[in-house]
Amino acid sequence: MDAATRASDDDRHRVVTALQRHTEAGRLNLDEYAERVGAVWAARTLGELATVTTDLPATPGPAPAADESRRELLLLLAVAGAALLLLALFMAVTR
């Protein structure tokens, strides 16, 4: 990365997304987040964008816990559906 290269809106969006994740993780408070987002949109070069996050660790990708929670919810719904189907079958047979 050449620090003098002009930053694109996609570059700025990427940095704002990283700042959101750091704020959610508790590394930044809302005032710091707002201040840094302002600096992101004022940045003209990739070097200026990089200075906004130099004191923050690299952000991980999406948390696998969200995928695991979704999988657990789908499993729970499948079990509930199967239980309802069995109940309906039982009620139909015993009538």
pLDDT tens digits, one per residue of 5-49: 999 999 999 999 999 999 988 899 999 999 999 999 999 999 999
For the chain, the farthest-separated pair of C-alpha atoms sits apart, in whole angstroms, at: 79
Domain segments of the chain: what residues?
Answer: 1-61, 64-95
Query: Which pair of tokens denotes residue 22?
Result: 């750091």
Q: What is the pLDDT of residues 75-93, one digit of tens each?
A: 999 999 999 999 999 999 9
Amino acid letter at 90? F
Name the pTM for this structure: 0.62
Token reading at 81: 């559906």
CA distance 72 to 66: 10
